[in-house]
Amino acid sequence: MKPPAQIKPWLTVEGLAAWVEDAPDREAYRRRLAIWLTHIGPFHAQQVATMLRVSRQAVWLWVAQYNKHGPKGLQRRGRGGRRWSYLSVSQEERLVRRLEERASRGEVATAPRLLPEVQAKLGRRVSLGYVYKLLHRHGWRKVGPHPHHVKGDEQRRQEFKKNSPL
């Protein structure tokens, strides 16, 4: 069995205890308690995980973050967000606003027609899927054609269906 993790001495035992008690919320308390239990036990990650009802991987991650960055290492945010975006949210909103203005003037706004403009704005080539996702992020949706012509006559349509030679 792997030996229990070792906690680097960023804080004294009393300082570590005070740090655990000063946790701002339940999630921070759980992370700090994992460090405390690993230090005072020393308990194995699986034992700490069982006591705190979290995964063993979470305990190992928290210990590694604490050992690498100290107490501030556990304050890191999650991995969500726009890490690989080409444009910021405000830049995307300005681009979509311009596209909306063109669409409101009656221009047909389809993703293939918008692709060259988006590429010019970005200064690089992007896929058509990128344009679709960009439009979707800003509330655009695909609008298809009506199943029947707006000025069509329903009675004549039904009559045609009955008498059609096909």
C-alpha dihedral, 158 to 162 to 163 to 166, nearest 10° = 110
- Flag residues of the chain having pLDDT under 70: 1, 78, 144-146
pLDDT at 31: 92
pLDDT in tens, 56-99: 999 999 999 999 998 888 887 767 777 778 888 898 999 889 88
pLDDT at 55: 92
pLDDT at 1: 67
pLDDT at 82: 75
Sequence-distant (6+) residues with CB within 8 A of 105 are none
Q: Is the pTM higher than 0.85? A: no
- Helix-then-strand count for the chain, H and E: 8, 0
Indicate the domain borders of the chain: 13-75, 89-137
